[in-house]
Structure 1
Amino acid sequence: MKMRLGILGADDTLDLILSVVHAYPEIECLPIVYDAEGEIFERLGPHADEADMWLFSGQVPYAMVKEWGRIKKPMAYVPHTGASLYRTLLHLSHEKKLAADELSYDTIPPGELAHMLEEAGIAAGRLWLKSYEGAISADELADYHEALWREGKTKAAVTCLRTAQLELKRRGVPVYRVLPTRAGVESVIGMLLRTHEMLQFKDTQIAVQMIELETPGMTGGEAADPSEGGVLELIEEKLLRYAKQLHGSLKTAGTGRYVIFTTRGILREWTCDFSAAPRPEELAGFADGRFTCGIGIGRTAGEAEIHAGTALLHAKESGPGSWMVFFDDKRIAGPLGKGEQITFSGASDQLRELSRHTSLSVQTLSKLKSILKKRGSAEINAHELAMHMQILPRSARRILIELEAKGIARVSGEESPHPRGRPRKVYRIEL
């Protein structure tokens, strides 16, 4: 099966990448060219879901798209390695008679630049380098290079960004472009092919959906009344049709509880890469009732079923109608489709040790760790914790008080959400 590879890049780099990729018959290309960074989302948007993987011509478009968050498939970019820069410097030294310390550089990590010059036996004084992480604008890079050139500190600029090169040319600054090497492109292509093979294998893993139904005459935790057999029969009929759509099999695991065996790849498509709860037409018509689901992924059917049961317990904690997934690497994610979806680890030596010193489970501590990471802050109040964990505020307060008693949390301040409301304690948590 061919890999459909989306490739987004500036004109010159895109041509180079395509010339390499065309040598791989197992790859089908979806090339997209952009002239300015501001065009990236507009050009990429209509094709976001059309590729199995995405390759970007450099760090900047990759970082921008990653932050954008619309691409759910694996992504990579072609790095500007030392070999790429060495080729440019060789040209400048022999053809233009420019020394390494007469140039300004960007993008290359500082350590890599110094190491490359040392290995090449190039003696350099002070090096002018604009290194950065993530994305950066062409104007910011152009400003950096132009200022050094106009002050007489450099004689030319060496940039890895095509749009910065064009902007510097427009300003009259001598500029040279660092292009990736064919070997660098081939290395990334090889990595993407191996990743694609691994994902295809993972898609064949066993996946189990454990569904617990709350019919119109049932309340949370109650067993179904036998008199509701007609309703349950109708539900089973709909679930059977749903299982067939998943190319799976259905079995009953007790009154009101069902298990569907299918594959990871099929469920990944139905759940938009495990980010949303599927709403198949076969289950429509039960708005008065609810179905809570745990999805388990495993190396064997037995392992997947155990994981599904654990995921179902977490889903029930999040409330009726929730969906959670337990992956084979012990990560737990959910509730699927909810704004406050989190991913946490089901196993951690550090958290197990903390659990032994508190009354809190590893899962609760892992959820808390994931929430703090997602918020980008170690501080949280009970109301916020309750919202993220989908629990009552009083339960959240008990968690925070327990952590405070064990020295894992401390009150760092108070905040008043309303002029007449009670102040809420803000806790700083050190897991």
Structure 2
Amino acid sequence: MNITLGVAGPADSIQTVAEAVEAVKGIELVTFTYESTEEAAEIVTENDAAVDHWLFTGPAPYDYVLQHGVIDQTRASHPELHGSNLLGRLLEAQYHHKKLIQNISIDTMNETDVTKALQPYHLNHELQVAAYETSGYVPPEAVTNYHEQLYLQGETEAAFTCLQQVADDLKAKGVPVYRVVPSVHSMQIILKYIREHLYSSSFRKAQVALVAVTAETVVRNAPPEVTAYARYHKELELKKWLLQAAELLQGSFIQMGDGLYFIYTTRGMVEANRSGLFKALHDAHVQSELPAQAGIGFGRTAGEAEFHAREALQLEAPGVTEVIVTVDEDKTINEWQADTTDITYRKQRLTAAAHQNRAEALISPMLVEKVAALADYYDQAIVSPQDLARWLNSSQRNARRVLTRLEETGLAELAGEEAGARGRPRKVYRLRFEEEA
């Protein structure tokens, strides 16, 4: 598998990457040279479809494209600047100035990084560093002005910058300037990281995914003479929309029986089309008037994915169509929600004693994990039956039963009472999952 890597940066940095990639197999470079950092956004916009990942030769273009929403951080990287990069330029500056430089200004690297770089050489007390520390992209003009003003005020003897444009501007203004750039070795480190990251990501995206959809196809309370026809029409409408979902996911659509449908595809297609899948399932439910629920299983094989998909369907709350439960190959359970943050169930939460108590209390491990995940999600340790009923989309009677079972396992304890809606006191419980973790 060869990776097509887009590289954007000044000409000299592009040359460094070209030298570094000779020692890293499996990467094909597509290079883009620019004069100013702002050109990076246009480069990405026009060429993103042709590359698997982007490498920016410095943090400035990386921050710029992220800040402008051109690309997200999962598809972009930049090399780190190490102390050795700065030290080499410092030695060059000492040689050119024919004296020991004691005051400098620097950008991109923060003062802590500079101190760590100089500490092994006992230069910390000899060199005073004014670091221009930022979070995110800063226009080159502002960085140039910072270095220039310090030099004109006599506070520094030289400027060290990572930006080509800043180096050119300072040189034109007569400010002694030295450009700090990643070495070939630094570039090789980031290239190897990108290669391994994309290999791992590619393997994960290629996993089998099974979208299992279940719907109640029996038409209730309909006259006997129209029940069968009404059922067929609604089911045909449902299948039409599910076929569109299969087309969206580039998957295979199979009807397994009355009201059960499978779409075989890959994890990569599911994750890339998540919002479209939610919309397709919503349209299927609305247009067919059949409540459809979906569970997704991931696995290394089709059999493993199907097992996890069926498990996901069992975890669906009855009647809830706006949530999709997924089960990963490592048994991690997620609840995907269209407009809110996902909920992940935590595993191996219980001690041996709690496991024994849970079995005696007749409460399923999945339910325990789900309540724990919801407590984390809502950041709430004190709950009432009303709270839990809302979380689980169930009745308060069922929520009281769950809290009683949790109390019997030692995962909850009575915390007191609060006034109910009709003036009756209502028990509240303190959840103790963190103590058992």
Alpha-carbon offset, residue 157 of structure 1: 0.5
| d(CA) in 2 for partners of 1:368, 1:102 | 54
- Secondary structure of the 1:85 match is helix
Alpha-carbon offset, residue 239 of structure 1: 5.1
Is the CA contact 1:298–1:328 (under 8 Å) kept in the aligned structure 2?
yes
Is the CA contact 1:295–1:323 (under 8 Å) kept in the aligned structure 2?
yes
Shift of the 163–343 alpha-carbon distance from structure 1 to 2, 3 Å rule, reads farther
Shift of the 28–316 alpha-carbon distance from structure 1 to 2, 3 Å rule, reads farther
Matched with 1:198 is 200
Amino acid paired to 1:260: I
- Secondary structure of the 1:277 match is helix
Alpha-carbon offset, residue 17 of structure 1: 1.9
State which of 141, 152, 161 in structure 2 corresponds to 1:150. Answer: 152
Shift of the 149–131 alpha-carbon distance from structure 1 to 2, 3 Å rule, reads closer
Amino acid paired to 1:13: S
- Secondary structure of the 1:149 match is helix
Amino acid paired to 1:61: P
Shift of the 117–152 alpha-carbon distance from structure 1 to 2, 3 Å rule, reads same
Alpha-carbon offset, residue 300 of structure 1: 5.0
Amino acid paired to 1:115: K
| d(CA) in 2 for partners of 1:241, 1:100 | 69
Shifted more, 52-61 versus 76-85: the winner is 52-61
| d(CA) in 1 for partners of 2:326, 2:340 | 15
Amino acid paired to 2:167: Q
Is the CA contact 1:57–1:77 (under 8 Å) kept in the aligned structure 2?
yes
Matched with 1:427 is none
State which of 363, 366, 370 in structure 2 corresponds to 1:363. Answer: 370
* TM-score (structure 2 length as normaliser): 0.68
**Which structure's CA Rg is the greater one?**
2
| d(CA) in 2 for partners of 1:315, 1:67 | 38
Is the CA contact 2:242–2:284 (under 8 Å) kept in the aligned structure 1?
no
Shift of the 346–293 alpha-carbon distance from structure 1 to 2, 3 Å rule, reads farther
Amino acid paired to 2:105: S
Matched with 1:42 is 42
Alpha-carbon offset, residue 152 of structure 1: 1.0
Alpha-carbon offset, residue 62 of structure 1: 2.5
| d(CA) in 2 for partners of 1:305, 1:208 | 6
Structure 2, unaligned runs of 5 or more: 222-226, 358-362, 381-386, 401-411, 416-433
State which of 262, 266, 271 in structure 2 corresponds to 1:263. Answer: 266
State which of 198, 214, 232 in structure 2 corresponds to 1:212. Answer: 214
| d(CA) in 2 for partners of 1:35, 1:218 | 69
* TM-score (structure 1 length as normaliser): 0.69
Alpha-carbon offset, residue 94 of structure 1: 2.0
Is the CA contact 2:253–2:261 (under 8 Å) kept in the aligned structure 1?
no
Matched with 2:224 is none
- Secondary structure of the 2:265 match is strand
Amino acid paired to 2:340: E
Alpha-carbon offset, residue 82 of structure 1: 1.5
Matched with 1:58 is 58
Give the length in aligned residue pairs.
Answer: 392
| d(CA) in 2 for partners of 1:368, 1:45 | 42
| d(CA) in 1 for partners of 2:333, 2:64 | 28
Shift of the 349–161 alpha-carbon distance from structure 1 to 2, 3 Å rule, reads farther
Matched with 2:431 is none
| d(CA) in 2 for partners of 1:183, 1:141 | 27
Shifted more, 179-188 versus 10-19: the winner is 10-19
Alpha-carbon offset, residue 93 of structure 1: 1.9
Shift of the 327–169 alpha-carbon distance from structure 1 to 2, 3 Å rule, reads farther
Alpha-carbon offset, residue 85 of structure 1: 1.3
Alpha-carbon offset, residue 186 of structure 1: 0.9
Matched with 1:165 is 167
Matched, 1:185 2:187: yes
- Secondary structure of the 2:51 match is coil
Is the CA contact 2:24–2:191 (under 8 Å) kept in the aligned structure 1?
no
Amino acid paired to 1:28: E
Alpha-carbon offset, residue 142 of structure 1: 2.7
Shift of the 343–35 alpha-carbon distance from structure 1 to 2, 3 Å rule, reads farther
Shifted more, 88-97 versus 108-117: the winner is 108-117
Shift of the 140–128 alpha-carbon distance from structure 1 to 2, 3 Å rule, reads farther
Q: Deviations over 1:396-416 (max 9, x none)?
A: xx9xxxxxx9899xxxxxxxx
- Secondary structure of the 2:15 match is helix
Q: Deviations over 1:283-319 (max 9, x none)?
A: 9897344643222223455553454345446765794
Is the CA contact 1:334–1:341 (under 8 Å) kept in the aligned structure 2?
no
Structure 1, unaligned runs of 5 or more: 220-224, 373-377, 379-384, 399-404, 409-430
| d(CA) in 1 for partners of 2:197, 2:100 | 41
Matched, 1:250 2:254: yes
Q: Deviations over 1:315-360 (max 9, x none)?
A: 6579425445444456655646x3434364543749xx9xx9xx99
Matched with 1:105 is 106
